[in-house]
Amino acid sequence: MKKTFVIAEIGINHEGNLKKAKKLIDSAVRAGVDAVKFQTYITEKRVKKNSPIFNILKKCELSFKDFEILSNYSKNKKIEFMSTPFDFESFQFLNEIKVSKIKIASFDTVNLNFLKKISNFNKEFIMSVGMSNLNEIKKAYGVLKKNKKNKVSLLHCVSSYPTMEKDSNLNCIKTLKENFNCTIGQSDHTNDIFVPLCAVAMGAEIIEKHFMINKSMRCVDRPVSITEIQMKNLIQNIRRFENSLGKDFFGVRTVERAAKAFRRFS
């Protein structure tokens, strides 16, 4: 089994504060994640001005220059920088600063015009598929894979904030594996680590979790975010699970040699 790729979804938990964003990166590094992920957007292109979340998004909007700083900061910290673009201009910027993995939000799985535009750039895409039926996922996947140089991974996701454990529908991971020849993972919106750990046991190779430094931190996505301590615990348990898998080997294993003499042949 390949090492599970763990993404700390910082998203907009920095609340538009560059120093806070850097502290979140530092915290994610301490937790041991493989990548940090942000959301890059121009608010006016993401939602209409009469949207109930317009003011929140505007407050949390960082400039392209800020994201360039954060990308370089992440490199210096030896952690991968990722982001979700919500408009083509933002995507072009992320491509210009050579962000290697582009995350696509569940909301854009059905945004085929956007997917067609970004599919021309020979990128690695990780797409969440919350709210999408199997036919919609196949269409979106087909658009991105029309360019054979693109690598596409799919993340099972339930777009409920937060998601209750009973609503996690982890069997969808199995269905995605049966229908797509690509890496399958889980973008999790529960506020604990049990469900993503179960997802790994079911074969998820990418885990994305919303992230905050601690429980006293004020942030937009607090109801769906886990802390540095929780993230560290999650990663330790994922690695423990991976280590327990061993090899797909039947017969007398090295650790069984002492018991070999007691086998009862007839």
Q: Quick: pLDDT tens for 7-27.
A: 999 999 999 999 999 999 999
CB within 8 A of 249, min separation 6: which ones? none
| Phi-psi sector, 122: left (phi>0), alpha (psi -120 to 50), beta | left
At a CB cut-off of 8 Å and minimum separation 6, what does 182 contact? 141, 151, 152, 153, 154
pLDDT over threshold 90, residue 34 = yes
Q: Which two tokens stand for residue 228?
A: 């540095």
List the CATH number of the domain containing 78: 3.20.20.70
For strand 101-104 and strand 124-128, is the pairing parallel, antiparallel, or unpaired? Answer: parallel
Measure Cα distances from 68 to 9, 38, 47, 110, 204 in Å: 17, 12, 23, 29, 30
Structural domain boundaries, residue 179: 5-262
In terms of pLDDT, which residue wins out, 72 or 248? 72
**Helices 134-145 and 171-179, packing angle to 10 deg:** 50
The number of domains in the chain is 1
CA distances, 88 to each of 49, 82, 92, 265 (Å): 19, 16, 6, 69
- Cβ(170)–Cβ(198) below 8 Å: yes
Q: How confident is the model at residue 221 (pLDDT cuts 50, 70, 90)?
A: very high
| Stated pTM of the model | 0.95
Q: How do residues 86-99 score in pLDDT, each as one tens digit?
A: 999 999 999 999 99
What's the chain's average pLDDT?
97
